[in-house]
């Protein structure tokens, strides 16, 4: 990935043509072991057997010697093996169009999404799959790519014309087709060394980077010099050399002391975030821990909300306040922040629905009409998945109550799909609970309005992120 990033970051050689990164599909984007496991399970279902029960995709194969070794390990009788081979031939891969039989390698769709966001770079597909499988292929890939906001179009897909066409000749023909369409072929990624060698022969005078994706250990032959080999997809390896996302507002989480405010103001991060609580003396303070979890101490020097607002908003930054209080405490919030009413666009309020209820959110939106008001909506994920129209109606009702941003927790399952769907609906989304640099990149690639990260002032990753 680092080699790819540096290659794309280098200036083009006198050409203004869009640069194309070409991916193979099977074994490069899609883990064919998952499809193999799907087909072996189909054999067991058809025969009422359990020869491959509990087989993991990592151990599955439907080809040659690997299949023979798998059957030997599972003590499958020779007559059953022969029946299996007949079944696999008669139930060709074209019939396995179910999404359950397709699984992308971890990280590959993040990398593809990253590439599509780079200026002057496009992604294409150069496959030896048969042309007759075009519709099935695009449907499967787009179903997998939906939650990553990755779309594959038919005009960027080259396929093998028919079974009589040699697969490697088809790959070379694909290169020529894209070149004739006006693209500069910047990089080619494939899992087959023989395909790599065939395409290299057709590009000897061009500055094309060839990468062998060896996730399936498909190394029947050593690759020649100049071919980069990698075993996994890691979007974080692209970050040092390609542009970090500049379209996402960063939120520095965990502000609860003057030292934390100092660290925040020392970096070009857009927004500071704190949790607002009512202390035992009735003051509004910025404090991470609840008083139930960490009892108040007489010598405690909690940071008053007024001071946080004065320093952060006075520094021309935004302030996100998680309100760990009820609707009855809103007048105290208004009193503490009214001095910043003219800077209401810098104010951002967040609270769970059960704390403020609909009436509380309306009061916030009416008192500071130019502010951001958000609430966590992780609870709608099952509804979005099963009844999207009903989910959208529920979110519209929240917007009618003055909520103009919705937060999803990256730490919870299926949140990528939830955030992606809400963004497709045109809603403002903040991603919470971003825990590390990989999370940050994956979330930022979806292009939400903002993401909230627990920054560390001394981290080199923090410096890279906060300079974006």
Q: What is the CA radius of gyration of the chain?
A: 27
Contact by Cβ (8 Å): 304, 287 = no
Cα four-point dihedral sign 200, 203, 204, 207: negative
**What tens digit of pLDDT does each residue of 157-213 get?**
999 999 899 999 999 999 999 999 999 999 999 988 899 999 998 887 778 899 988
**What tens digit of pLDDT does each residue of 71-111 get?**
999 999 999 999 999 998 887 554 444 455 678 988 999 99
Percent of the chain with pLDDT over 90: 60
Element (H, E) at 354: helix 353-367
More confident residue, 239 or 249: 249
Q: Which regions of 139-207 does DSSP assign to beta strands (E)? A: 157-160, 184-190
In a 3-state reduction of DSSP, which class is residue 122?
strand
Question: Mind giving me the DSSP string for 402-413?
Answer: T--EEEEETTST
Q: Which regions of 32-167 does DSSP assign to beta strands (E)? A: 121-130, 157-160
Nearest to 365 by CA among 347, 391, 342: 347
pTM of the predicted model as reported, rounded to 2 decimal places: 0.79
Average pLDDT value for the chain: 87
Cα four-point dihedral sign 92, 96, 101, 103: positive
Whole-number pLDDT of residue 226: 64
Contact by Cβ (8 Å): 211, 228 = yes
**What tens digit of pLDDT does each residue of 268-324 get?**
889 999 999 999 888 999 998 888 888 888 778 889 999 999 999 999 999 999 999
Measured CA to CA in angstroms, residue 87 lies from 56, 251, 380 at distances of: 20, 55, 43
Q: Exposure of 80 by Cβ count < 10 A (0-12 exposed, 13-18 middle, 19+ buried)?
A: middle
* Rounded Cα–Cα distance for residues 29 and 125 (Å): 10
Question: Mind giving me the DSSP string for 232-261?
Answer: S--GGGTTTTSPPP-SSEEEE----SHHHH
């Amino acid at each position: 990935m680092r080699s790819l990033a540096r290659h794309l970051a280098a200036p083009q050689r006198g050409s203004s043509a869009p640069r194309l990164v070409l991916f193979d599909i099977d074994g490069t984007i899609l883990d064919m072991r998952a499809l193999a496991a799907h087909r072996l399970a189909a054999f067991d279902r058809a025969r009422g057997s359990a020869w491959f029960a509990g087989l993991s995709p990592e151990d599955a194969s439907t080809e040659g010697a690997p299949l023979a070794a798998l059957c030997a390990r599972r003590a499958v009788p020779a007559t059953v093996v022969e029946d299996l081979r007949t079944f696999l031939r008669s139930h060709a891969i074209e019939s396995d169009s179910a999404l359950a039989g397709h699984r992308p390698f971890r990280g590959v769709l993040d990398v593809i999404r990253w590439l599509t966001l780079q200026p002057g770079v496009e992604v294409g597909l150069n496959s030896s799959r048969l042309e007759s499988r075009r519709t099935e292929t695009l449907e499967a890939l787009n179903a997998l790519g939906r939650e990553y906001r990755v779309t594959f179009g038919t005009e960027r897909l080259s396929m093998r014309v028919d079974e009589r066409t040699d697969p490697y000749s088809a790959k070379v023909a694909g290169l020529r087709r894209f070149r004739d369409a006006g693209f500069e072929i910047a990089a080619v990624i494939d899992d087959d060394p023989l395909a790599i060698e065939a395409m290299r022969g057709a590009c000897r005078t061009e500055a094309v980077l060839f990468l062998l994706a060896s996730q399936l250990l498909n190394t029947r032959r050593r690759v020649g010099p100049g071919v980069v080999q990698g075993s996994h997809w890691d979007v974080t390896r692209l970050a040092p050399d390609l542009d970090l996302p500049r379209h996402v507002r960063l939120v520095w989480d965990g502000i609860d002391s003057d030292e934390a405010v100092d660290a925040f103001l020392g970096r070009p991060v857009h927004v500071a975030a704190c949790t607002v609580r009512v202390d035992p003396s009735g003051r509004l303070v910025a404090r991470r821990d609840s008083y139930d979890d960490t009892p108040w101490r007489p010598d405690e020097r909690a940071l008053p909300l007024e001071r946080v607002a004065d320093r952060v908003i006075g520094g021309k930054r935004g302030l996100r306040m998680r309100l760990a209080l009820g609707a009855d405490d809103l007048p105290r919030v208004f009193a503490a922040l009214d001095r910043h009413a003219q800077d209401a666009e810098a104010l951002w309020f967040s609270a769970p629905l059960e704390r403020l209820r609909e009436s509380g959110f309306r009061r916030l939106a009416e008192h500071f009409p130019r502010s951001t008001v958000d609430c966590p909506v992780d609870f709608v994920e099952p509804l979005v998945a099963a009844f999207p129209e009903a989910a959208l109606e529920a979110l519209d009702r929240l917007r009618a109550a003055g909520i103009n941003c919705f937060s999803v927790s990256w730490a919870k399952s299926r949140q990528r799909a939830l955030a992606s769907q809400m963004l497709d609906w045109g809603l403002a989304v903040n991603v919470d609970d971003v825990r590390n640099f990989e999370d940050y990149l994956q979330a930022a690639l979806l292009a939400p309005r903002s993401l909230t990260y627990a920054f560390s002032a001394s981290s080199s990753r923090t410096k890279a992120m906060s300079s974006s």
